[in-house]
Amino acid sequence: MKINKHFLDLQDSYLFSTIAKKALAHIADNPDANVLRLGIGDVTRPLPKVAVDAMTAAVADMGSASTFRGYGPEQGYPFVREAVQKYYAAKGVELTADEIYVGDGAKSDIGNILELFDRDNNIIIPDPVYPAYVDANIMAGRTVHYVNGDEGNGFLPMPDSVGVKPDIIYICSPNNPTGSVYTREQLKAWVDFALENNAIILFDSAYECFISDKSLPSSIFEIEGARKCAVEIATLSKMAGFTGVRCGYTIIPHELEFEGQNIGKMWMRRQATKFNGISYIVQKGAEAVLTPEGLAQCRENIAVYMENAKTIATTMADLGIWHVGGDNAPYIWLKCPQGLSSWDFFDKLLSEAHIVGTPGAGFGVKGEGYFRLSAFNSKENVLEAMKRIKEIL
């Protein structure tokens, strides 16, 4: 028996475990300190009421012979797919319900979809970015090519920095960790580049619900030509607080074909073999959050996070600290002051202000010297954290 040796090529994922260890040690040494967590990328507010009510009713359905459900369709119940279809129609994106594949969240689909593609493809991944893209590809034995984000490009790398023939291109917009968002023109450049090179774009729209500037695209399918080159991976995690409930969806347009094979059909075949769908109960919750009432309740939660984001961004501006994000995303990406490294700034914030953030180096080599602050917290905690940061800087 031989193991998959590519696992040995993975960097140990020290980031969040090291953060947790350091925070715990700090709390042990400072039992009276009110430690504030602005590191976390997880939502903090409870589920919208419509979702709770719909899931409660769905549990009751499961307890009655006439409404009980067993295995559902692998692609998701039509009622969820039609709800997603309407959500996109409201943005001006026309989809058919059978182009939508319901799953248990973006992370699974980001990794699983790679099974459809040959191992020798060239993978293009932005740096810094959500670490799952890199790790999923390394596990599969692929070589990753990075496109670098920096202050010059506002942490939005463009196709002219790709140095190899691209096959699979990851785009995360709004980006985790930087909070920067591609404009329509910039996304069009990526779509044209993918079409010219017969490449596929895997577009992660996990934070699309935080975009308030209507001129910015919240779906790759707002861009002409994208239906021929892109897959969109979306989630209710951040939008509806479903990080613990688990529901997402992947959109694969009918036109998407490579080497004469239809990508949607391949994905359906993969899912039907290895996935039995998510629970009826969760899908009823998902349907409810996508109703007008549900979307309004989601927006109330999002507004709280975005007010926090504004508070953080304004504080950074007042302190003269270079930063991006925070206006259309729940993350603020800042340059560590006083020339500190990501981890030195982490230690300074923790020891002097009792604040936990996330060192940028955990998101890629180009994240060194930068830092992520998250808006996922209460208004009171964010205000208190900003007061303390002003005091120590």
Give me the residues that bind ligand PLP (CB under 6 A), please: 41, 105-107, 130, 172, 176, 204, 206, 235, 237, 243, 248
Residue 315 or 331 with smaller CB distance to ligand PLP: 331
Residue 294 or 315 with smaller CB distance to ligand PLP: 294
Tallying the residues shown for the chain, one arrives at 393
Amino acid at 284: K
Q: At what angle do helices 280-289 and 49-62 cross, to 10 degrees?
A: 150
Residue 263 or 278 with smaller CB distance to ligand PLP: 278
Residue 140 carries which DSSP code?
A: T
Residue 44 or 315 with smaller CB distance to ligand PLP: 44
Tokens at 351, concatenated: 């020891």
How many angstroms separate the CA atoms of 156 and 152, rounded? Answer: 9
Q: From its phi and psi, is residue 210 left (phi > 0), alpha (psi between -120 and 50) or beta? A: alpha
Distances (CA, A) of 339 to 10, 345, 389: 29, 9, 16
Residue 166 or 248 with smaller CB distance to ligand PLP: 248
CB of 88 to ligand PLP, least distance (A): 17
CB of 106 to ligand PLP, least distance (A): 4
Q: Tokens 């998101």 map to which residue?
A: 363
Residue 99 or 204 with smaller CB distance to ligand PLP: 204
CB of 170 to ligand PLP, least distance (A): 10
CB of 39 to ligand PLP, least distance (A): 12
How many angstroms separate the CA atoms of 33 and 36, rounded? Answer: 9
What values do phi and psi take at 356, rounded to 5? -105, 125
How many angstroms separate the CA atoms of 221 and 25, rounded? Answer: 46
Residue 315 or 358 with smaller CB distance to ligand PLP: 358
CB of 197 to ligand PLP, least distance (A): 24
How many angstroms separate the CA atoms of 110 and 87, rounded? Answer: 21
CB of 107 to ligand PLP, least distance (A): 3
Beta bridge partner(s), residue 232: 203, 251
CB of 270 to ligand PLP, least distance (A): 18
**DSSP run (H or E) holding 333:** strand 331-335
Residue 236 or 386 with smaller CB distance to ligand PLP: 236
CB of 231 to ligand PLP, least distance (A): 13
Residue 203 or 315 with smaller CB distance to ligand PLP: 203
How many angstroms separate the CA atoms of 96 and 167, rounded? Answer: 26
What's the gap between Cα 247 and its chain centre? Answer: 13
Residue 197 or 374 with smaller CB distance to ligand PLP: 374
CB of 234 to ligand PLP, least distance (A): 8
- Using only the alpha carbons of the chain, give its radius of gyration: 21
Could you give the count of Cα atoms lying within 13 Å of 102 in the half-sphere of its Cβ?
Answer: 29
CB of 204 to ligand PLP, least distance (A): 5
DSSP string, 219-282: SGGGSTTGGGTEEEEEESTTTSSTTTT--EEEE--TT-EETTEEHHHHHHHHHHHH-----HHH
Residue spans of beta strands (DSSP E) within the chain: 36-37, 100-103, 123-127, 144-148, 168-172, 200-204, 230-235, 248-251, 257-258, 261-262, 323-325, 331-335, 355-356, 358-359, 370-374
